Every structure is written in C-alpha cells, then in structure tokens.
Structure 1
Amino acid sequence: MPRNVESTAFSSALEVIGGVEPRIADAIRAELADQRQSLKLIASENYASPATLLAMGNWLSDKYAEGTVGRRFYAGCQNVDTVEALAAEHARELFGAAHAYVQPHSGIDANLVAFWAILADRVEAPALQRAKARHVNDLTEVDWFALRRELGDQRMLGMSLDAGGHLTHGFRPNISGKMFDQRSYGTDPATGLVDYDKVAEAAREFRPLVLVAGYSAYPRKVNFRIMREIADSVGATFMVDMAHFAGLVAGKVFTGDFDPVPHAHIVTTTTHKSLRGPRGGMVLCGPELADQVDRGCPMVLGGPLPHVMAAKAVALAEARRPDFADYAQRIVDNAQALAEGLLRRGAKLVTGGTDNHLVLIDVTGYGLTGRQAEQALLDSGIVTNRNAVPQDPNGAWYTSGIRIGTPALTTRGLGLAEMDATAELIHTVLSQTTAGTGPDGTASKAKYVLDPALADKVSRQATELLAGFPLYPNVDLT
C-alpha cells in the first residue's frame, strides 16, 4: 500500500467534515495529537487499525436492519447480510465457537443479550409449558410478575467489584442488579487470588441461576474448567465475560483451562480492548442458546449498526492473521515486565504481579488515593484510570488503586525496555506526589501536590519515549 493512501483517506474525510462543522474536525485532529504524545496505559483502550476505523465511515450507516441474516424486518439488507455473516464467521473461526452474534453495540449490551437469553432458556421455556397447560398459547399473555413470584427471584453469583469484577455482573447501579438477586465472590485477603473452594461454597449456599466469571481489574488468569464444574454442581448456567482478555484468547495466549469458550455455556466480549477492534460487543454460545441470543434485537437492542459490524469483521479478520498471536503474547510479556519494573522500585501490586494484560497498583503505599494518583499521572502525560483494590478503604469513587494495561503501547511497538522506562516514570510521579488538604486543613482524597516542573519533565520524557514508536505512521494530517 502506498504510504500516502491512509493520509489521503483521513485528510479528505476531515476536509469534508470541516466543511460542515470545523470544530468537530479540529477535535478529531486534536485527539490524534493527544494520543500520539501521551503514554496510554488504560487497560481497556487500544488503537484500532486504519482499515477498522475507515470501515465505520460509510453508507452502511444509513441502513436499518432489525432481525438477523436472511430474516430482516426491512427490505434491501442484502449487503448488511454479507457484512454480518462475515463478522460472525470470523468470530466463530477465531474463537472456536459454534455460534456468534455480532450485533451488540457495547459490552453492556452483549451482557444484557446473554442475561435475557439465559432467562428465556431457563424461565421462558418452562413458562410456555405452564402456559400451555393453562390453555394460554401466547407468552405475551403470561403475567411475568406472577411468574417471577412463583419461581422465586433469579440469582446471580459474580466477582465483587473490589476484587476486580464489573458493574454489569449484577450490581445495583446497573440494570443487571435489578434483573437478578446478586451475591459476590471475592478473593483471598492474603493473596488477592480467586479461592475456588470459597466460590464453590458460595454457590452451594446461594444456588445461583447464573454463575459469572470474568473481570475488569483482576491481574491473573481464571481457571474456567473449575468454574464450570462449580456451575454444574449447582445447576447454574456458566457465563464468562471476557471483554478485557478476548485478545489473549484470540491470540492463543490463554488456552486449555484458561480459554473460556470450551467451558462456558455463553461468552460475552467487547470488540475493542485487547481485541483491537471497533467499540462494540459480541456474544458466543453453543447451539442450545443460539436462537435465544439471536433475539437480541429487538429484545434489548436497537437496530443493528451495520457500519460497526463491518469494522468488527475487519478487526476479526486481522486477529486471525498469524502476527496477532505474536501481538497477544507481547501484551502479556510487556505487562509482566511493567509489573517487575514497578516491584523493583518498591510499588505495591495487587496479587504481586500479573498473568494477563493489566497491572493493579495499590497507591496507598505512596500515601495517595487512586484519584490523586490518576490526576498526577495525567498531568505528567501518563493516561491511566483509578480503580478499587480488594477491601478498598476509599470506596469506588476515590479508590486506592491505579489500573494500568499494555494493549495500546504494545500496538505501538513498545517492548520490554520501554516497559521498564515506563515503570520508572510512573514511580517518579507517584513518589513525588503528596496528598493535599481541603479548605479546612483536613486531609483531602482528591487534592494533591506535584511540582509542575517535574510533571512537565516527565511528560517530555514520555513523549521522547514514544518518539521511536509513531502512532499511525502512515497518517499525516499536515
């Protein structure tokens, strides 16, 4: 491909956009500039390829396509059918899944599709039998509230937020917490690791309808074989949310007991993060849940986004290439190098290291809250996010941790030496930041003190570190 093709594509697009609303074109240019010069260490972020990005900006956006391939509620969807079928084919082949549903707009949407598919399978089918016994032939005539009272609250067991779980796994602020009676399993207080015996004990006591595994801030592998055995022992449906580590599964870094697809009844994921695709979601399952999953639209989803499904197909095709496996392995190698660099400098890490793409720093060792550390690092050109740690004394807003990840920097080509340099920059900022005080002189969980000269120096060092690894090198907007 000639070097100027990508530059021409993006420059032309911005020229067209700028002709209508120049402030939007300026914001897009500024975002690229910001990403090029900062150390992006947010574990859930990455850089999609130019091909993936360009696949989203086209006429597919103009189509309504409710339904599934070959069964649409709108005419003229033959090209959407092609796009969706290709995306699903790539997903099935990449993950070894029997069925793939690529319509979800986000990870939350994917989880909602999975939850309702499970409820339909476990509750709706028996309800239909009961309704027919009462000579009711249409489920729309069933009193679902009465049915819920009759069957009892539906229960979900998932990882606690402070142990690294996610809001969509049954917590009250999310709709999943209103759908299910939720209970959490945590981690061993001494090691920070999942205690499978304790999970089994909780499952026996709580008898969940759904056992959820998966995480957003747990820096270790999960043994999905054991988790499936626990689910089977209590008759639960086993669901895995692999949004964070899908790229490690696709790249065959996580195999055997640590690959969720052969063990789970249903698997959800985002298509960005370590999978390096567009922002969106996806559901994988066996044939027994396929029909229920395919009801995602209109069950809980709005109309499919054909242009995003096109981008998913492109990204999934990229992930099937041999070089993606090398990329996935380098993500983990870099995360472990980053963890080792921080440990050598005295940082306290949850679980003492990592097996995957993320590292969780307990910043109380620096005398800071997560919010203070997050902002001090941002002032210094290092983009992270604050995160709770197990038994977090500062709660979910201020937190006591910083979550960092390596998918994005690995995409740029940074390696082990650069990870050590990054650890040095992080440690420098955190060790030189102190907690501030409020107006009344009491300790603040938000205010902090950092010498602006030091922040500027670290920011320049971060930019210099990235200079040898240009982001989108074939895109020149000047």
Structure 2
Amino acid sequence: MADLNALTSSAYSQALEVIASVEPRIAEATRKELADQRSSLKLIASENYASPAVLLTMGTWFSDKYAEGTIGHRFYAGCQNVDTVESLAAEHARELFGAEYAYAQPHSGIDANLVAFWSILAHRVEGPWLEKAGSKNVNELTDADWESLRHELGNQRLLGMSLDAGGHLTHGFRPNISGKMFHQQQYGTDPETGLLDYAKVAAKAREFKPLILVAGYSAYPRRVDFAKMREIADEVGATLMVDMAHFAGLVAGKVFTGDEDPVPHAHVVTTTTHKSLRGPRGGMVLATEEYAASVDRGCPMVLGGPLSHVMAAKAVALAEARQPSFQTYAQQVADNAKSLAEGFLKRDARLVTGGTDNHLVLLDVSGFGLTGRQAESALLDAGVVTNRNSIPADPNGAWYTSGIRLGTPALTTRGFGRDEFDHVAELVVHVLQNTQPGTTKAGGPSKASYALGDGVADKVKDASAEMLDKHPLYPGLELS
C-alpha cells in the first residue's frame, strides 16, 4: 500500500507540474480544491470522492477520440480500443445491477434521462407509427407524414414526482426540457407524512394515462416500492422509467433489494455514475432487451460523441463497486444516514418524513427562522457544505427554499461512522441556532442575508477538523 501511495503522489505531483508549465493558475486551483475538500464537511448528497484510479483514468489519450455510434459500429475508423472500453463498462454494469442491457455513453444524468425518454418514444410511438404507415424508415416519409409523426411524438404524456416532493428537474418540471417535451403532470406526497401514497399515484395515473411513469428522486428520504410502481404502470399501459441517480450505490451495494431494487421492475433505469457509485461524472442507462435497440441509438439520437476517457473511468468505478468491500460501504452509508437523522431529531430539528431510510435527510430550517439559502450560506461559513432544497409545499419556492439536503456518501467514503454523524448533526444545529436572518434595505425580513454569531464558525471548524484529521481524504497522497 505504501508503494501505491507513493506512486499516486508521484503521478499527481508530476501531472500538476506539467499543467503548471502551461497554465499555473489551473494547477494552483487544483491544489486548492484538494485542500478545501480535505478541510470541509462535505454533506451534499449528490457528491462523493472518486478513487485515484478512477480520477487518473480520465486523464488519458482516450480523450482525443471521436467514436460516434455503438460498439463495433462506429462512424469513425480506429475505434477498436474504444470498443473495448465501452464493452467493459457495459459488462460491469450488467453484472453489478443484474440488468439485461447497459448503455455507458451518456455524459450526465440529464443526458441519460433524455436518452431514456427518446428511446421510449421511439419504441412506443415512432415504431408503431411507422409500421402503421407502411414504412420502416423516417427518411422515406413525405413532409406531411413527418409532420404527423412529429405531432405524435410531441404530444405524449409523462407522470413524474413533483420537485417539491423530492423529484428531479428532469421528471417533468416545466422549466426543464422534460416539461417542454411532454404533456406532463406530477404526483406528490402525503401532506401530513411527506410519504408517497401509492393509491393516490395509481389514481392519478388512471386519470392521466401517461405513456411514461417516472419513479425515483433527488430529495426523498425514503425507499420506494418499485413493484407497486410497476403495477401502476402496467395497469395504465405506461412504461416504467426509474431514475436511480441518487441511490444507485445502495442498489449496487445490495442495501436495496427485492421490491426496493428498481432494475427487476422497471423497463428502463437511468443513473449517474458519480454520487453514491463513487465514479466519474457521467450517466448510464439500463434497460430490458425490449428497449435495448432503441437505447443503443442514443448517439446520435440525443448524444454527441461519446467521452471515451470517461467511459473508461466508469468501467474502473464499476469494477470497484463489484468488490465485496463496496457492499460494506453502501450499508454504512445507510446506517450513517440514520444516525444523522436521529442526531437531528433528538435536538428537536424537524426532518421531512420524520427520518430517513436511504442516504439523505431533508432538514426543514423554517423552525430556526431561516430560509434554506440563509442556512446553506451560514453552514458554508462554518466549513459545512450542504445545499438548500425545497420541501413539500415550500412557501419560499425553489430558489430560497425552506430546507437543506444533507447526505452521507462522501463522509462515509472518508471513514466517518455513526457517532461522528451524530456529532455532525450537533454542529449543524449549533450553526443554525446561532444564525439570525438579515433585513432588506427597506427594513423588511430578508430571505438571503443573515448574521452568524461571533466565534461560531471557528468553533465548528475546530470541531470538524478533529474528525477530519482522523479520516484524511486520499490518505497517503502528498503533493510536492
């Protein structure tokens, strides 16, 4: 291990020297970013720390390749090594998740969702329409036929989880492209408990009859019964698409199994490869064989040239996630989230749904007299990195919000345990209790400005440093 640490340190030190020879400010910003991450409590639920192996994989000459198309069927010559990389990424994904088909090309989670949406449209709408029209190729259509097909594609229905209930922008939020592509409606959560009410989701689906039912979340602190969601989709003839970007690591790590594992139940599953999977920034689509051919046309249907260097890093990260140690990590992520939630609750902080059984908690900061933006900013001053987030029926909207979202994947990667997450809850509450909202120039209450009590930031940073020093980020990595 010492030899590996020495090799890693040497690799990064030399890489930064090369970068500095061209643009020293970038090298300095890179060094500073590592220092900042090492010295802060990273609680953003969508962030993690990729291994040095994953990070180093992205900095290679695979970055130089154009490789539009699919494995063995590229529009550019000389892609035999890219075929190897993409094949390995897809193989690891299929084996890890038990999927029939895996597509590793999406550049991000939003790209993965766009590939999924258009693949479902191609399979469910375009294919049957062409067959009915007696044509097998859109290039054979007349202008009138093409306009008719475009009308069909552009008037399909999507039912997804609302943003304030914990859904994602790409699940039909109107300012997002998903809300413009589809005739969309949204389902929420019970106003009293904050939990999904499957009977109400089913009733909404029967009334709306969507082509696509989207499940999954970015800020819902509970597990989802995907078997019930599939029953709802089947009843109304919808395709079930699950966005597991946030909790893919818990699926890969076998924390979510049976009805809580979306892969056996959904027609199409999308994910990012960072977050709880600890891979590079990117996306991925899993699908049943029925949808495989449509998904495989993601490039050039939706995507530009595949990022071969990132696909290589995905393969490395997925290989890491297939190791037994990853299951231990995933279970610790969930255990730590429970400890974080319990730490808040025993200090009389309000959590949406009253707790968690995944990797995140959603803290309602209105009880502290703050907006989410004020809480986020005050915590950042104290070295605690979170993000503001809407809560159900949020009176402050999606910009200022009334909540903050906190997740355990990153600090669990560093080695934090349950006792330390209880201490993290104590520090967060201490900051919020000692933050006062500011006033506007007109003298009214401000949703953005705030005042943090004297000495609070330093006290929290000192307490955080004691924990962080026990669990160094990238231990053994020293930059010369």
| TM-score bracket, shorter-length normalisation | over 0.9
SS at match of 1:162: helix
Residues 8, 477 of structure 2: 8 Å contact kept: yes
Q: What is the CA distance between 1:339 and its match in structure 2?
A: 0.3
Q: Does 1:274 align with 2:276?
A: yes
Q: How many Å separate the matches in 1 of 2:78 and 2:136?
A: 42
Instruction: Report the residue type matching 1:27 in the other structure.
Output: A
CA distance in 2, matches of 1:143, 1:113: 24
Residues 80 and 450 (structure 1), Cα distance of their counterparts in 2 relative to 1, 3 Å cut: same
Paired with 2:440 and 2:469, the residues of 1 have a C-alpha distance of: 39
Q: 2:29 aligns with which of 27, 30, 33?
A: 27
Q: Is the 8 A contact 1:131 1:137 kept in 2?
A: no
Task: Provide the rounded CA distance (Å) in 2 between the counterparts of 1:377 and 1:226.
Answer: 39
Q: Which residue of 2 aligns with 1:83?
A: 85
Match of 1:56 among 55, 58, 70: 58
DSSP-derived class of the 2:470 partner: coil
1:451 match: 453
- Specify the code of the residue in structure 2 equivalent to 1:447: S
Distance in 2, matches of 1:419 and 1:181, equals 43
**Aligned partner of 1:436 among 424, 435, 438:** 438
Distance in 2, matches of 1:305 and 1:322, equals 29
Task: Determine whether 1:415 maps to 2:417.
Answer: yes
TM-score of the two chains, using structure 1 as the length reference: 0.98
For residue 16 of structure 1, what is the aligned residue in structure 2? 18
Relative distance call for 1:152 and 1:408 in structure 2 (3 A) is closer
Alignment of 1:163 with 2:165, yes or no, is yes
Q: Secondary structure at the match of 2:163?
A: coil
Identity of aligned residues (%): 73
Q: Give the SS at the match of 1:360.
A: strand
Matched residue SS, 2:286: strand
For structure 2, the 5+ residue unaligned runs are none
Using the alignment, how far apart are the partners of 2:189 and 2:367 within structure 1?
20
Cα pair 2:437 2:445 within 8 Å, conserved:
yes
Contact 1:367 1:435 (C-alpha < 8 Å) held by counterparts: yes
Distance 1:471 1:142, change over 3 A: farther
Query: Are the structure 2 counterparts of residues 139 and 25 from structure 1 closer, same or farther at C-alpha, using a change threshold of 3 Å?
Result: farther
Aligned residue number for residue 174 of structure 2: 172
8 Å contact kept, 2:130–2:137: no
C-alpha displacement at 1:134, in angstroms? Answer: 11
Cα offset for 1:147?
Answer: 3.0
8 Å CA contact 2:389, 2:402 repeated in 1 = yes
* Residue 228 of structure 1: how far off its partner (Å): 0.2
Report the Cα distance in structure 2 between the residues aligned to 1:452 and 1:146, rounded to whole angstroms. 66
Determine the structure 1 residue equivalent to 2:320.
Answer: 318
Q: Distance in 1 between matches of 2:378 and 2:58?
A: 35
Aligned to 1:40: 42
Query: Cα offset for 1:160?
Result: 0.4
- Partner of residue 245, structure 2: 243
Q: Determine if the alignment matches structure 1 residue 213 to structure 2 residue 220.
A: no
What is aligned with 1:400?
402
Q: Which residue of 1 aligns with 2:265?
A: 263
Say if 1:7 and 1:256 are closer, same or farther in 2 by CA, change over 3 A. Answer: same
The Cα of 1:131 is off from its aligned counterpart by 2.6
Aligned match of 1:387 in 389, 394, 398?
389
Of 471, 476, 479, the match for 1:477: 479
The amino acid of 2:42's aligned partner reads: K
Question: 1:94-109, aligned counterparts within 5 Å?
Answer: 94-109=96-111
Could you tell me how far 1:439 is from its partner in structure 2?
1.0
1:179-258 equivalent positions in 2, closer than 5 A: 179-258=181-260
Write the letter of the residue equivalent to 1:174: N
User: 2:27 corresponds to which letter in structure 1?
Assistant: A
Which residue matches 2:67? 65
Give the whole-Å Cα distance in 2 for the aligned partners of 1:38 and 1:201.
Answer: 45
Distance 1:475 1:296 in 2: 38
Tell me the alpha carbon deviations over residues 348-367 of structure 1, each in whole angstroms, 9 at most, x when there is no partner.
00000001000000000111
8 Å CA contact retained: 2:337, 2:361: yes
**Which residue matches 2:463?**
461
SS in 2 for 1:393: coil
More off after superposition, 172-181 vs 326-335: 172-181
Structure-2 change in CA distance of 1:148 and 1:303 (3 Å): closer
Cα displacement (A) at 1:146: 2.4
- Deviation of 1:127 after TM superposition, in Å, equals 1.7
Give the alignment of 1:105-184 within 5 angstroms: 105-132=107-134, 138-139=140-141, 143-149=145-151, 153-184=155-186
Distance 1:308 1:151, change over 3 A: closer
Q: 1:452: how far off?
A: 4.2
- Aligned residues of 1:153 and 1:180 also touching (Cα < 8 A): yes
Matched residue type, 1:51:
A
Alpha-carbon offset, residue 405 of structure 1: 0.1
Deviation at 1:460, TM superposition (A): 2.0
Q: 2:126 touches 2:153 (CA, 8 Å); kept in 1?
A: no
Question: How many residues get paired?
Answer: 478
Deviation at 1:136, TM superposition (A): 8.1
Instruction: Decide whether the 8 Å contact of 2:126 with 2:149 is kept in 1.
Output: no
**Separation in structure 1 between the aligned mates of residue 424 and residue 312 of structure 2, nearest angstrom:** 35
Aligned to 1:345: 347
Provide the secondary structure at the position in 1 that maps to 2:192. coil
Give how far 1:145 is off: 3.8
Structure 2 residue aligned with 1:365: 367
Q: Secondary structure at the match of 1:252?
A: coil
Aligned partners of 1:140 and 1:208: how far apart in 2?
A: 29
CA change 1:346–1:146 in 2 (3 A) is same
Q: What's the secondary structure of 1:42's corresponding residue?
A: coil
CA distance in 2, matches of 1:10, 1:215: 36
Per the TM alignment, residue 453 of structure 1 is displaced from its structure 2 partner at its CA by 1.7
| Matches of 2:271 and 2:264, distance apart in 1 | 15
Contact 1:131 1:142 in 2 (8 A): no
Partner in structure 2 of residue 298 of structure 1: 300
Shift of 1:139: 4.8
Q: Does 1:333 align with 2:316?
A: no
